[in-house]
Every structure is written in C-alpha cells, then in structure tokens.
Amino acid sequence: MAEKNIKEMSFLDHLEELRWLLVRSSAAILIGGVVAFFFSDFIFNEIIFGPKSPDFVTYQFFCELGKYVDMQETMCITEINLPIQNREMGGQFSMHMWTS
C-alpha cells in the first residue's frame, strides 16, 4: 500500500495558518467593499432599485410572454408609482456605506 505523506503541524503552526487565513479574508472583504463603493451607482440603480423601473428585465419578459398568450394589456407594466423615503438624518449616507 502507498503510504500517505501527512505533514503534522504543531499548535503554533495551526495558529500561524489561521492568522494568515484571517489576514487574507480581511483583505478580500476590504477590497470587495472598496470596489462596491466605487460601483455603488450601478448597485443601487440596476440591482436594488431595478424593479422600480418599467424596463426591468422581468417585466419585459412577462410583457413578451403576454404577447404570445394574447394578454399584452394585462401583463405589460407601463408605470410604477413607488415613492422612496428616508426617515433618518444620515440615512442615505449610512445606506450607501452599509451597501458597500
């Protein structure tokens, strides 16, 4: 039988591995947050508030489906009345930061 080459690690070696794993994970989260901060307009307008627009991809799909089943008037969305309110003093800024 082939003998497995198992590397035994001491407790401090395990702690060293854990430390580098936490450093790499923190760096990845920080980089992801910075990238999300710079692309926040896309994230808000296209992803979070995308369904607010009548040309949202799901609405267009159902409108096209309605054309095939002769229900175009009932399946097409032409206007969405969705007012968005902010009830806190720094709500817009904190929402921007938490989303990033």
The reported pLDDT for the residue numbered 1 is: 47
Residue 71: both structure tokens together: 């229900």
Residue for token pair 């702690």 = 15
88 phi/psi in degrees, rounded to 5: -120, 155
Residue 45 DSSP class: I
The reported pLDDT for the residue numbered 4 is: 57
| Rg of the chain over all Cα atoms, to the nearest angstrom | 25
pTM, two decimal places = 0.56
Q: Cα–Cα distance between 56 and 45 in angstroms, integer?
A: 11
Residue 83: both structure tokens together: 């007012």
* Domain spans, the chain: 11-48, 51-83
List the chain pLDDT tens, one digit each, 100 residues.
455 556 788 888 899 999 999 999 999 999 998 998 899 888 888 888 888 888 888 888 888 888 888 877 778 888 888 777 777 778 778 877 777 6
